[in-house]
Amino acid sequence: MTDYILRGGEVIDGSGGPRFRADVAIAGDRIAEIGAVGRAAGAREIDVTGRIVAPGFIDVHTHDDRALFATPQMAAKASQGVTTVVTGNCGISLAPLTIDYAPPPPLDLIGEAADYRYGRFADYLAALDRSPAALNAACLVGHSTLRVGAMSALDRPAEPHELTRMGEFLQEALDAGAVGLSSGLAYAPAEHAPPAEIEALAALLRPAAALYTTHMRNEGSGVLDSLAESFAVGRAAGVPVVISHHKTIGRDNFGRTGETLPVIAAAIAKQEVGLDAYPYIASSTVLSAGQAERASKVLVTWSKSAPEQAGRELAAIAAAWGVSVKDAVDRLQPAGAIYWMMDEPDVQRVLRFPHTMIGSDGLPHDFHPHPRLWGTFPRVLGHYCRDLGLFGLEEAVRKMTGLPAARFGLSGRGAIVAGAWADLTVFDPATVIDRATFEVPTTPAAGIEHVFVNGRPVWAAGKPSGERPGRVLRRQQMQAQHVE
Ligand SMILES: [Zn+2]
């Protein structure tokens, strides 16, 4: 029985192909019919004339592991048309790990000690099953999380028995349904992990047909070496690699995506490689003196020691306190920050690259977050696609739907075809735009009119519907569907 008919819109199906005029009928959790759909008794008609009907967007780079519980309506993402989030990026996942002390940065970006309470990945996914969010979740296991759980000290390579333990944790997570392993080799908990440690763990991914994503060791002067290291992991383990939030940072490296993208393209010709990016020239993570030194401007996003400083510039805080920037960084710890350290032409070059997926990298628990948390997808659609003309709308949608669904093995999603899961976003191509700014970062976007997840509305009339139809997208279930 038909539940909804989206009447009179232009369908962009996620494949990159041209839009076409069609009605879309939803029955239960599936897309039932596309074309000239007749009236159906009991079906709710929604007039979407002049609007785009697209597959729901897939945010491939999130830190929403705990946000799915803390803010189950997921308004930051639903308001952008996102219907699926990939969690556990940059080496940090909420599971599998239990600790009774403050998590080392950057694990503190997603939770405090009490939040790390899932000793098995299966327990975390079961908790999501019991308490579903509005959006679907595909979950990565973080290498740094594995290290914290398995090692007695993090400032060295793993001992053989520790590596065995990490492998057991990872295998449990893969058996439970994790879609892959992420690393954050630029961060303290993982920077002493040699390539051999990553390759040993990545070897477990191949039998599971899972993938490896990486926040590389170096995105500055050493970016080419880091790309080579990342590709080598993929080749050694025989698994796909995703380069996270690709960029070249620091003034000395402005323009160098002109070097990195051809290197990535050459790798793609030989092995499975993907990449994601967010549409801003500022990054955001934990506050550190080293990062602050390389940025032209730093905005504090949260501070445990001085919470009232969130939203202020680091230089102004240091001046007000009459201390050096380095001392201000120490006094604010633990803390987070936004760093201006990219060049706009690099951001545009990476976004335009045909293999680039869109990922917000939003930090949902920051007090004064980077606007990418609420603005990424509408900013690509409105600012970069419509206003600057970087690419056509069909290509923008493909980067958010068909491309990531294929890369992460999300079968039956990221496409508008009969029989696919009814994850759908209806937006106005003339008005869609991000409204979250660095000053007021939690403002919902304009132009996203209806969002459906598994056939149920999660966002309409500028607010969450209150429904929570999201599902855990377990790797085995998706692979089984793929074979059908
Ligand atoms: Zn990262």
Cα dihedral: 306, 286, 289, 102 (round 10): 70
Q: Tens digits of per-residue pLDDT, 84-119?
A: 999 999 999 999 999 999 999 999 999 999 999 999
- pLDDT given for residue 84 in this prediction: 98
Taking all residues of the chain, what is their mean pLDDT, rounded to a whole number? 97
CA of 29 to the centre of ligand 1 (A): 33
Task: Look at residue 400 and tell me whether its pLDDT is greater than 50.
Answer: yes
Which of the two residues, 482 and 212, has the higher pLDDT score?
212
Handedness of CA 411, 412, 415, 421 (dihedral sign): negative
pLDDT, tens digit (0-9, with 9 covering 90-100), for 254-300: 999 999 999 999 999 999 999 999 999 999 999 999 999 999 999 99
The Å distance, Cα 220 to ligand 1 centre, comes to: 14
Instruction: Give the model confidence (pLDDT) of 32-54 as tens digits.
Output: 999 999 999 999 999 999 999 99
What is the 184 CA–ligand 1 centroid distance (Å)?
6
CA 459 to centroid of ligand 1, rounded, Å = 28
By C-alpha distance, which of 456, 402, 483, 318 is closest to 11?
A: 402
pLDDT of residue 296: 95
What single letter denotes the amino acid at residue 478?
M
**Model confidence at 414, in pLDDT bands (50, 70, 90)?**
very high
pLDDT tens for 119-145 read 999 999 999 999 999 999 999 999 999
pLDDT tens column, 322-373: 999 999 999 999 999 999 999 999 999 999 999 999 999 999 999 999 999 9
Report residue 482's pLDDT band, with 50, 70 and 90 as the boundaries. low
| Cα of 57 from ligand 1 centre, angstroms | 20
pLDDT confidence of residue 33: 97
Distance 221 CA to ligand 1 centre (A): 17
Instruction: Report the candidate in 129, 70, 134, 136 with the shortest Cα–Cα distance to residue 465.
Output: 134
pLDDT in tens, 241-257: 999 999 999 999 999 99
Ligand 1 center–CA 323 separation, angstroms: 30
282 alpha carbon – ligand 1 mean position (Å): 13
CA of 248 to the centre of ligand 1 (A): 13
Q: State pLDDT tens for residues 167-200.
A: 999 999 999 999 999 999 999 999 999 999 999 9
Rounded distance from Cα 284 to ligand 1 centre (Å): 9
* pLDDT band at residue 484 using 50, 70 and 90 as cut-offs: very low
Q: What is the mean pLDDT of residues 418-436?
A: 98
Pair 398, 391: CB distance under 8 Å: no
Q: For position 481, what pLDDT does the model report?
A: 77
Q: How far away, in angstroms, is 137 Cα from ligand 1 center?
A: 18
Centre of ligand 1 to C-alpha 143, Å, is 12
Alpha carbon of 6 to ligand 1 centroid (Å): 37
Residue 319: CB atoms within 10 A of its CB come to 12
Whole-number Å distance, alpha carbon 194 to ligand 1 midpoint, is: 18
Cα 32 to ligand 1 centre (Å): 38
How far is ligand 1, taken at its centre, from the CA of residue 49, in Å? 39
| Cβ < 5 A residues, ion ligand 1 | 90, 215
Ligand 1 centre to CA of 370 (Å) is 13
How far apart (Å, rounded) are the C-alpha atoms in residues 283 and 133? 27
Ligand 1 centroid from CA 210, angstroms: 19
pTM above 0.95, yes or no: yes
Query: Exposed, middle or buried: residue 316 (CB in 10 Å: 0-12, 13-18, 19+)?
Result: middle
Asked if the model's pLDDT at residue 450 lies above 90, the reply is yes
Q: In angstroms, what is the span from residue 215 Cα to ligand 1's centroid?
A: 5
Distance 24 CA to ligand 1 centre (A): 37
Which of 444, 358, 452, 338 lies closest to 402 in space, CA to CA? 358
Cross-strand pairs, 52? 10, 427
Per-position DSSP letters for 202-250, written without gaps between them: HTTHHHHT-EEEEE-S-SSTTHHHHHHHHHHHHHHHT--EEETT----S
